[in-house]
Structure 1
Amino acid sequence: MNNVLAHTQPIPRRTLLQHGSLWLAASAPIAKAAFAVEKRSSEAVRIGLVTDLHHADKAPGGSRHYRDTTKKLAEAAKQFRSSSLDCLVELGDLIDAAKTVDTELGYLETINGQFREICKDRHYVLGNHCVDTLKKSEFLEGVGQERSYYSFDRKGIHFIVLDACFREDGVGYERKNFHWTDANIPPAELDWLRKDLKSNEHPVVVLAHQRLDVSDHHGVKNNAVVRDVLEQSGNVKAVFQGHSHQNALKQINGIHYCTLAAMVEGKGIANNGYSVMDVYPDGSIHLEGFMRQSSYDWNS
């Protein structure tokens, strides 16, 4: 039976919930991020995290304010630069859909032009909107990244970037050939994931777009299979994901599944959301959330 702890709504910042090895401190929304990230040990790896910017030059759609993401990213960049990041991660849907390839590439150049100035060491997770009009190869070339799924090490921590932008038949998303609810990790990527985890002895943090902890329309269809692979390794500490646009947290069989708030949601800088994460050699994690993003502490 899965041991699950779920948290979907922000709670007062001083509230602490202890559940086994989990300590959680979730911050209520605040007008602006006037506080600084705590000083970290030189042994910790520090990661800046953003998700679901959906940048596009178009009018708001419901709660999504596409043009505001350039201002929100500029605000987040100030905190990221003062935090001395080791690397910067974007968890998918950097851009929103466009009618033409040229328009989509224009969106990508605009927002990535800002993003690449923040930190030299950058990593991009593919989101469904990233390849709504573009091919994966076009998006990856646009951001200067070779692969859509891969792993990398920083200061003794192993990071895995996953790509769930595949249909159930194994065909990759591109040029409007998919429905966004049909997200899957294909057999070849699962085989790679097993081998990658087997060859690693360090604490592991997984970076994804579509959620691995739910079976609704925001979840990867074969999420249970993927979770089983992660659990068998014994080294995976946490999965960070986006896609559903709101703070959410589950603990399933010892792994924390943390869904981050979307930057695109809400008008203006006051509705921004981003975070700075410290991962320590023993696998402990401190996530400092800003604006609409909750904060968490997890002991190894």
Structure 2
Amino acid sequence: MNRRTILKSAALLPFVNPSIEPATSAPMARKRSIRFAYVGDTHITPEAKPMESVAKCFHHVQNQKDKPAFVLHGGDVIMDALKQDRDAVQKQWDAWHTVVKADNSLPIEYCIGNHDVWGYEQAKTDPMYGKKWAVDLMKIGNRYRSFDRNGWHFIILDSVQLTPSNTWYTGSIDPEQMEWLRGDLAKTNPKTPVLILSHIPIFSPTGFFSEQNIKDEKWTIPAALVLSNTPELLKLFYQHPNIKAALSGHMHLLDRVDYNGVTYFCNGAVCGNWWKADTYQQTKAGYALFDLYDDGSVERTYLHYS
């Protein structure tokens, strides 16, 4: 083949821009790491309706065709321990464990809610006063902790701090826990996606639902609704791009906020309007299914069990 033939053949080829890299194979599709069910604000009592409804919710979770691997409980397991005596609190926990034993076969990971804390004033000298009782009955070992599951790192926070009078609570992450959180995040592989759970929301618009929070033409959002040290947490989260999601309950409302690479999910309530009605504000009683993927993405599906 002479030079003229070579040039003629080259002219018939499509033009290739040398500045464009050759096409490569398509990126690999993401894979689901794990599916779990968020079940929160069950507020169980020994009465028939709460017990039957919580049982129905558990059955709905377990009857999913694509069954979750475990349950993440977002807190407020029982109706209230803040202002109840020992006997009343014990009956609520007994009701919960009766339903769990009879109607649930999935592992449960718990987060402490404000109503799970025993704040009965006359019980201050009782060794179970405060969070000890809830920690023992939830079998969680400590009020805050972390664990790894299928390539994801889970951090469970204690967002409930009793006020000095011990008769009420405020939402925050206390200094001891904050120091632990910084250390836990620092030692986690930066390529490992992280999910954080707190009962009280870290970042949520749900505090704006009530006209009562408007005072003197200004929004006043109590720290009992959103954590008082949210700004500190947001700065910390920004330093760790592998934090992908932060879940909460407490508000009995459903929302989603995407901010600085973190998706904040508030996840309704199993009890709806504290068992008075199926719907609170515009959120119907339910639970959420979460799908976590190996690329750090998160999908939530909110389901009504009734």
SS in 1 for 2:71: strand
Structure 2 residue runs of 5 or longer lacking an equivalent are: 1-29, 120-128, 208-220
SS in 1 for 2:99: helix
Distance between the aligned counterparts of 1:262 and 1:48, measured in 2? 13
The counterpart of 2:104, out of the listed 118, 127, 144, is 118
Whether the 8 Å CA contact 1:85–1:119 is kept in 2: the answer is no
Which range moved further: 185-194 or 284-293? 284-293
Matched, 1:186 2:169: no
Aligned partner of 1:106 in structure 2 is: 91
The counterpart of 1:48, out of the listed 9, 21, 37, is 37
| Counterpart residue type for residue 52 of structure 1 | D
| Counterpart residue type for residue 63 of structure 2 | S
Q: 1:76 to 1:292 in 2, by over 3 A?
A: closer
| Counterpart residue type for residue 56 of structure 1 | T
Offset from partner CA, 1:180-210 (integer Å, 9 cap, x none): 3x22211111111111111112101111101
Whether the 8 Å CA contact 2:152–2:194 is kept in 1: the answer is yes
Q: 1:246 to 1:273 in 2, by over 3 A?
A: same
Q: How high is the sequence identity, in percent, across the aligned residues?
A: 25
Structure 1 residue runs of 5 or longer lacking an equivalent are: 1-40, 59-66, 294-300
| Counterpart residue type for residue 126 of structure 1 | I
Distance between the aligned counterparts of 1:114 and 1:167, measured in 2? 29
Whichever structure has more helix as a proportion of its residues is: 2
The counterpart of 1:260, out of the listed 249, 256, 267, is 267
Number of residue pairs matched by the alignment: 238
Offset from partner CA, 1:67-96 (integer Å, 9 cap, x none): 533222222212322343222111011112
Which range moved further: 266-275 or 122-131? 266-275
Distance between the aligned counterparts of 1:69 and 1:229, measured in 2? 39
SS in 2 for 1:166: strand
Distance between the aligned counterparts of 1:149 and 1:196, measured in 2? 11
The TM-score normalised by the length of structure 2 is: 0.71
Distance between the aligned counterparts of 1:119 and 1:200, measured in 2? 30
Distance between the aligned counterparts of 1:184 and 1:269, measured in 2? 29
| Counterpart residue type for residue 102 of structure 1 | D
Q: Which has the higher contact order (CA 8 A, sep 6+)?
A: 1
* Pairs within 5 Å for 1:1-300: 43-57=32-46, 68-83=49-64, 84-98=67-81, 99-115=84-100, 118-133=104-119, 134-167=129-162, 177-180=166-169, 182-201=170-189, 202-214=192-204, 216-217=221-222, 218-266=225-273, 271-291=284-304
SS in 1 for 2:161: coil
Whether the 8 Å CA contact 1:239–1:255 is kept in 2: the answer is yes
Whether the 8 Å CA contact 1:69–1:263 is kept in 2: the answer is no
Whether the 8 Å CA contact 1:72–1:269 is kept in 2: the answer is no
Distance between the aligned counterparts of 1:122 and 1:285, measured in 2? 20
Offset from partner CA, 1:38-80 (integer Å, 9 cap, x none): xxx974211111111111247xxxxxxxx53322222221232
Structure 1 runs (4+) deviating above 4 angstroms are 266-271
Instruction: Please report the RMSD computed on the Cα atoms of aligned residues, expressed in angstroms.
Output: 2.5
Aligned partner of 1:61 in structure 2 is: none
The TM-score normalised by the length of structure 1 is: 0.72
| Counterpart residue type for residue 127 of structure 1 | G
Computing the radius of gyration over CA atoms, which structure comes out larger, 1 or 2? Answer: 2
Distance between the aligned counterparts of 1:43 and 1:274, measured in 2? 20
